[in-house]
Amino acid sequence: MNKYFEKEHILLVVGLAMLAWGCNQALFVLPGETYMGEVFRIFFLHVPTAWNSLLIGTVAFGAALGALVKRSRGWDAAVEASVEVTLVLIVMVLIQGSIWGHGGTWGDPRTEAGSTWWEWEPRLTASAVMALSFAGVLSLRSFIEQFERRVLWTAVATVIAYVDVPIVYLCVKWTDRGMHQDHSTPSTVSDVYHWPLRVNAFAVLLIALWLIVRRAKLTLARDAARADQTPPTESTTPLVAGGA
Amino acid sequence: MENNPTELTAETVADGGSNPFDGKVTDHAMAWSHVSAAYSISLAILFSYMVVVSVRLKAARARNEERT
């Protein structure tokens, strides 16, 4: 591999190719949904993005546990990267969902909602809380200079923020579903929609993994620069012979 | 155009009513404007973030190389 082609770029190339195929199917090949019509095509980007926001949020949780145990720069970089990618994905989900909600689920007897940008229903509210929680982790982290404290506080805040992730996933089972349908599975989605949905889900996953690797490398590069600038502390000052 | 849940547009009438639910149909042009907005904004956010991360990583590496 030369310096311009790092291994993670394979994830990006395959992910973009899959996303191009999936979006082409979603926008130009597949039929619209029976009740929602054309606006349903948002589903093929919205659901994969939502799945991956929860999955990458879980990666952030795992990385936070690793950071709590190891307290190393590598784990810390993984936490920051996965939290930031989760935030980007959940913001995309909220925007897509808002446009879909306004585009109209009218005429759809399976939902109670009409045309609206926002509804304080369980999954939307939990998703908004998730976005704020992950933004809060990054905000908290930016205020802490000392490495040991930054690792600890970021990891603890990430574990706390993660509590909302299972709630986002399961609230359609626990409570009134509001604007959302039950979990999208092969039994709740027509056969013709399965493959484009799966391909887009893996496409977003591969792109998200590429982003995590690149973002973690950015954190490590910044840490290296910061370490070069920091004067040696008492504990790292070498012992010098020659005293009285 | 204001979306009216009870309106049958010319397009849907010509289609013979593509939505079978009780005459409540969405306007196709309005629906497509929402679909294109959702895809455009999402992909713009995603690609912008990819570019920002790549540019910042390149700059950080360049600074580290200068220093060493």
- ipTM, 2 dp: 0.86
Mean pLDDT of chain A: 87
pLDDT digits (tens, 9 = 90+) for A143-169: 998 999 999 999 999 999 999 999 999
Residue B17 has a pLDDT of 43
Residue B1 has a pLDDT of 39
pLDDT at A105 over 50: yes
Residue B48 has a pLDDT of 97
Average pLDDT over residues A51-76: 96
Average pLDDT over residues A24-40: 86
A243 Cα to chain B: minimum distance (Å): 32
CA distances to A47, A52, A117, A174, A228 from A189, rounded to whole Å, are 12, 18, 24, 21, 55
pLDDT band with cut points at 50, 70 and 90 for residue A186: confident
Average pLDDT over residues A85-103: 94
Using the Cβ of A187 and the Cβ atoms of chain B, whether some distance falls under 8 Å is answered with no
Give the B-side interface with A, CB within 8 Å: 3, 5, 18-22, 24-26, 28, 30-32, 34-35, 37-39, 41-42, 45-46, 49-50, 53-54, 56-57, 60-61, 63-64, 67
Cβ contacts from A onto B, under 8 A: 112
A103 Cα to chain B: minimum distance (Å): 6
pLDDT at A175 over 90: no
Chain B residues in contact with A215 by the CB 8 A cut-off are: 53
Residue B22 has a pLDDT of 43
Percentage of chain B exceeding pLDDT 70: 60
Residue B19 has a pLDDT of 44
- The phi and psi torsions of A185 (rounded to 5 degrees) equal -135, 170
Does the beta-carbon distance from B20 to A34 stay under 8 Å?
yes
Does the beta-carbon distance from A96 to B38 stay under 8 Å?
yes
pLDDT band with cut points at 50, 70 and 90 for residue A137: very high
A130, A90 in Cβ contact below 8 A?
Answer: yes
A77, A59 in Cβ contact below 8 A?
Answer: no
Looking at this protein, which amino acid is placed at residue A27? L
Query: Can you give the pTM of this predicted structure?
Result: 0.83
